[in-house]
Structure 1
Amino acid sequence: MDGNSIKAILFDLDNTLIETYRAGELAMQKTHELLKTSLALDDDTITNICDKFMQKLLQQKFDPAAGRSTDEIRVGHWEDSIKESVDSCSTPSLAAQCYYMWKNGRLELLKLSPKISDLLKQLRRKYKLLLLTNGISQTQWEKVKAVGCESFFDRIVVGGDYPEQKPYPSIFKVCFDLLQVEPQDCIMVGDSLDTDIQGGFNAQVRATVWVNSAGDAVPDGSVTPDYTLSTVLDLEDILAQLN
């Protein structure tokens, strides 16, 4: 690494700055209870329905099908999950209730902790900050609005608004151009080795910082981050080394 100072920090959002996994789990617990009350089925069957929905969600492409909104598609995921698990007639009303209970419940729980808010305020006095998040455009912008994090960043880039997302270099080029910086002026901070760290490596940023709250080992064959932290709150220690 050369002696030039870092000028910009690119942050991932989900499970880096906000606890999306945890919020989703809590929202799903409430949805589980709604299904159990509505269908009068055992916990295993209800869990199976919820698991099917999550599988469909993970397999969903970033671009919604022509003529259907993301919400409509995801209500359909719930309806299909119920039909595949329960021998009953169509349940569009219940499917919609499940989806909006899960969606709105998750959004209500998403927030920046006071400590992370303070960290971002301090960092922005010294660096340009950009939020770079993968996902369907509607979904990610809803999270950004729910969290209220726009004021903490110079720019926000949602991958679903572009042809390619992390780890492709093209989305990072968009970020560099928006901030008017070079790759070596930046670090990438995120929780995903496959998208955040691999993406930073592909884009040739100065350094990659893996937020590894679970304390997992880097899997064989995976890209190796330059730095690993258990929490993003320790980022200033890394910046002190780099500068």
Structure 2
Amino acid sequence: ETLFTCATQEELPFTEYKKLHTPQVEGAVIDKTENLIRLEEGVENFSMNFKQYNEDITYNNGYRDIVCEPEIVWSYQTLYIDWNNDKEFSGENEIYAAVGNNSGDNTFDDPDGNVTEGWDRTITVPAETAPGTYRMRVVYMGPDPWSNDWPSKVFTEFYNEIRNGIAYDFEIAISPASGIEGIASGKVYYDAHAGLLISPNPTQTTVYNLSGQIVLQVNNTTEISVSSLEKGVYIANVGGEMIKFIK
């Protein structure tokens, strides 16, 4: 699922940092929480692909337009997830390891990553994390002074300064486990990756939204595609077995 993308320079999120050692609250973090990262209770990890804007950027220095090529040299990435919902990124398992380097072929620790395809990062969810909504902040910056534990200093010793960088906020929504008993027993289950409801036998399937309206009906099949449905939570009656799933 694409959380956001920028096709033109005008769409790029940008904040100009002007005063050293002075936290800038307004616009200091780019809010991308509108599109949730949706997980289900019990998920151990999830992966995200991060891409950079890859066109030339033009800015005016007060005298003339300057054309710059985008680059990621000197950039490191770290992220924080407020798993205890105390509005701070300092609890146990809330600060994730930094990735990246200061070379021209920076891959953010993804050996197959590149400027065109982006970089993949796998994010661990702490065991027994309860259903709920959790804030995630992704930070790109060139830390100074350098130290291996610099992610723990961004909001303390670094005065909230994101040096030569940018920050994005996302929200992770973890829903209660759907209780699909059939996953282990070979009965009905939902394959989120393929977007299919799977039944061991051909059967009739009726899918309802949370308002009780029928949004899909299929007869005599073992694989029911839900690709036509909008993202959301649904209840399906598959041959008499009721399951809930999140698309």
TM-score by length of 1: 0.26
Bigger RCO of structures 1 and 2 (CA < 8 A, at least 6 apart) = 1
- Give the structure with the larger helix fraction: 1
Larger radius of gyration: 2
TM-score (norm 2): 0.26
Which structure features the higher share of strand residues? 2
